[in-house]
Structures are given as C-alpha cells and as structure tokens.
Amino acid sequence: MSALTFAGVLHAADAIAGELPPTPSWIYPALNEAVGAQVVVKHENVQPTGAFKVRGGVSLAAGLTDAERQAGLISASTGNHAQSLAYAGRLAHAPTIVVMPVTAPEEKAHATRLLGAEVIRHGATMTESCQHAMEIATERGMRFVSPGDDPAIVHGHATIYLELLRRHPDLEAIYVPVGSGSGAAGACVVRDELAPNCKIIGVQSAAAPAAYNSWRSGRVEQAACDTRFSGIATSSGSQLPLSVMHGRMNDFLLVDDFQILDAMRLFSTAAHTLAEGAGAAALAGLLQDTEHPQRCAVVCSGGNADGSEIADIAAFAAMA
Ligand SMILES: *Cc1c(COP(=O)(O)O)cnc(C)c1O
C-alpha cells in the first residue's frame, strides 16, 4: 500500500486549517470563451508565499518532533518549496536552510531569506542541490525534507483538491502542473475518494520532462531540464508521487515554454491573475488539449513571476 492515503490528506487539512484559509476558485467568462469550456481556476497564487507549496510546509511543521525542531530543517528548491520550508521553520521555531540551484530566481531566494531561512546557492540542477542538502543534513544532524518524497508534504499539497472537489464535485477534469509530481499524486488520492469519474491530467514542460518520462515507464527517470520556469524545473522523477501517478493519473501533456507564456498572458487579460510560468502550465495544457471536457479546472499553482516573466507577459499581451 502507498504511504499516501486519503486519511493522510484529511489529517493535513486539519493541520493547516488554523493557518491557511481555503483559497478561492473562480470562473471567468472571458477565460471560458478563450478555452471553449467552463474553467474553474483554483487560486494558489494568493497563498501567503505566493504558491501552493506552503500547504506542504505547514502540514510538515505540524508533525515535527521536539528533537527535529531543535536540529532544524534542510531541503533543496528552485524557490517555492524554499519559501514554504522557511515559512514552516518560522512556524515551528526550527532553524531552516534551503539549498537553491545557482540558476533559481534571486527574487525567490530573497523572499526565502526574508522569511528567516538561510539560503545556500549550490548546484546547476535540483538533483545536485538535493545531493548537497543531504550531505549537510548528515553532517549537522538536521532533518532533510525531500521536496517530492515526504508524505507530510504530499498530503499537505493534496488539500488543494479536497477544497476544489468539495466545492465543485461535478468537475470532469482537473489540469495539474507537474514538477516532482507531489501535487498530481495528491490530486489522484483525493479524486479516487471524492470524484472517481473526474480525470486528473498532468502538465509538464517539454523542456523538462523527467516526471513525464517516469509516468510513462513506471520507473524514476532523469531528463534534461531546460525550461526557464523555476517551479517546474526538475531533472528527476520522484518515487513517492510516481507510486500513485503511474496507473492512476489519466493523462499527461507536455507544453513548450511559449505555450506557457501565452497561458500567462491569458491569465492576465481574461482572469486578472498574475501567474508565474509554472502557475500557468496547467492552463497551457488545457489550451492544447483538443479533447477537453466541458467542466474543467486548472490549478494556478503560483504567482511568483520574476521581472523577466512579467516583462514577457506584457510583450505577449501587447502582441495578442
Ligand atoms: C513546485 C511547483 C509546481 C510543481 O509541483 P510538484 O508538486 O513539484 O509537481 C508547479 N507550480 C508551482 C508554482 C510550483 O511551485
């Protein structure tokens, strides 16, 4: 049996209820028109850290032992899990370190420091940063928090789908952006319990398809990582999410970075929403999906667009 369960999701929902209110899920006529379906947008861009990952951090913080708090937390991230962990560390009064790849946006590193965590820049890819974080964890006896493979984190992320499917039980498909797959795995667990007929459709960048390749083969695969969008810039699949996604996630679409930019533009003009690239990937997938059903949801997973992303949204909007 998988370590990921619906009971685990309910437990995480209890843990975050006092800290994070449910996020809104809105329907926008101009977006419906552009897509040709009814589209529910689940707004994780309004979380206090600007992305859904804070759910995982708050869920993790609730389950730490006193010894873990004292020893401190360490992880690796391109920026949104970093802010989530910093938020969790502050909540739990645990010293926190995040190793970030040298290519991760400085805006996200800065926001992580402002939440009280130490940021170490090390590694060209997430795989290298993770390796470094694990070495420091062993050296200093800190609790290593795997961004994709920790059940408390995945159960926390899954609470998005608890809120969404309780409010919109008749959805026919939910489009979920995928980096490690923690969100998509959580979506499958909740869907199986609350809305078995609703399809869960993953969307990943064609320029960083490690999770896609893993979903297809059923084994953890590595792949090149050339997307500019940090939230989905992963170079390896993750075992725990894969154990649920493989065989249970209905479909998996790849989109290119221009399609993601176009979805960011559409969010800004049709749904007055600033999404970062990763936050618009699900909408990009829906826009490419010629077989989408009539009642769909997309997760706007984050709003932490950096300066260059915002400039490109503006350029795209002016051209459209
Ligand atoms: C991390 C992240 C993703 C990908 O989520 P996984 O759980 O790693 O698959 C998507 N969007 C944003 C904004 C993220 O921060």
Q: How many C-alpha atoms does 204 have within 13 Å on its Cβ side?
A: 31
Residue 21's Cβ-count burial label (10 Å; 0-12, 13-18, 19+) is exposed
State the Cα–Cα distance between residues 240 and 158, nearest whole angstrom.
13
Same domain, 47 and 91: no
Residue-wise pLDDT for 24-69, tens only, equals 999 999 999 999 999 999 999 999 999 999 999 999 999 999 999 9
- In the reported structure, the alpha carbon of residue 300 is separated from the centroid of ligand 1 by a whole-number distance in angstroms of 10
1, part of any domain: no
237, part of any domain: yes
130, part of any domain: yes
Residue at which a domain ends, from 127, 144, 161: 144
pLDDT of 1 strictly over 80: no
CATH code of the domain covering residue 124: 3.40.50.1100
Same domain, 12 and 120: no
Residue at which a domain ends, from 144, 160, 183: 144
What residue type is 281 in one-letter code? A
Same domain, 219 and 74: no
| 319: confidence class by pLDDT, cuts 50, 70, 90 | confident
Residues with CB under 6 A from ligand 1: 51, 53, 80, 148, 157, 177-184, 231-232, 276, 278-279, 301-302
Burial 238-262 (b: 16+ CB within 10 A, else e): bebbbbbbbebbeebbbbebebbbb
Nearest ligand 1 atom to the CA of 276 is: 13
- In the reported structure, the alpha carbon of residue 205 is separated from the centroid of ligand 1 by a whole-number distance in angstroms of 12
Same domain, 272 and 246: yes
State the Cα–Cα distance between residues 242 and 4, nearest whole angstrom.
11
Same domain, 269 and 298: yes
Same domain, 193 and 303: yes
206, part of any domain: yes
Same domain, 109 and 181: no
State the Cα–Cα distance between residues 15 and 7, nearest whole angstrom.
13
Residue-wise pLDDT for 70-125, tens only, equals 999 999 999 999 999 999 999 999 999 999 999 999 999 999 999 999 999 999 98
What residue type is 118 in one-letter code? E
Same domain, 207 and 187: yes
State the Cα–Cα distance between residues 48 and 23, nearest whole angstrom.
11
Q: Mean pLDDT over all residues of the chain?
A: 96
Same domain, 130 and 205: no
- In the reported structure, the alpha carbon of residue 81 is separated from the centroid of ligand 1 by a whole-number distance in angstroms of 8
Residue-wise pLDDT for 215-247, tens only, equals 999 999 999 999 999 999 999 999 999 999 999
- What pLDDT, on the 0 to 100 scale, is given for residue 190? 98
Residue at which a domain ends, from 90, 109, 144: 144
- The answer to whether 22 and 163 are in contact (CB under 8 A) is yes
| 307: confidence class by pLDDT, cuts 50, 70, 90 | very high
230, part of any domain: yes
- Please tell me the residue having the least CA distance from ligand 1 atom 3: 231
Residue-wise pLDDT for 116-158, tens only, equals 999 999 999 888 999 999 999 999 999 999 988 999 999 999 9
State the Cα–Cα distance between residues 9 and 152, nearest whole angstrom.
9
Least confident of 18-27, 287-296, 308-317: 308-317
Mean pLDDT of the 280-286 span = 98
| 184: confidence class by pLDDT, cuts 50, 70, 90 | very high
Give Cβ neighbours of residue 91 (< 8 Å, ≥ 6 apart).
19, 57, 58, 61
Same domain, 46 and 86: no
Nearest ligand 1 atom to the CA of 304 is: 13
22, part of any domain: yes
pTM for the complete prediction? 0.97
Nearest ligand 1 atom to the CA of 154 is: 7
Nearest ligand 1 atom to the CA of 157 is: 7
Range of the domain at 97: 54-144
Query: Best substitution site from 41, 232, 273 to test ligand 1's pocket, by max atoms within 8 Å of Cβ?
Result: 232
- What pLDDT, on the 0 to 100 scale, is given for residue 275? 98
Total domain count, the chain: 2
- What pLDDT, on the 0 to 100 scale, is given for residue 117? 98
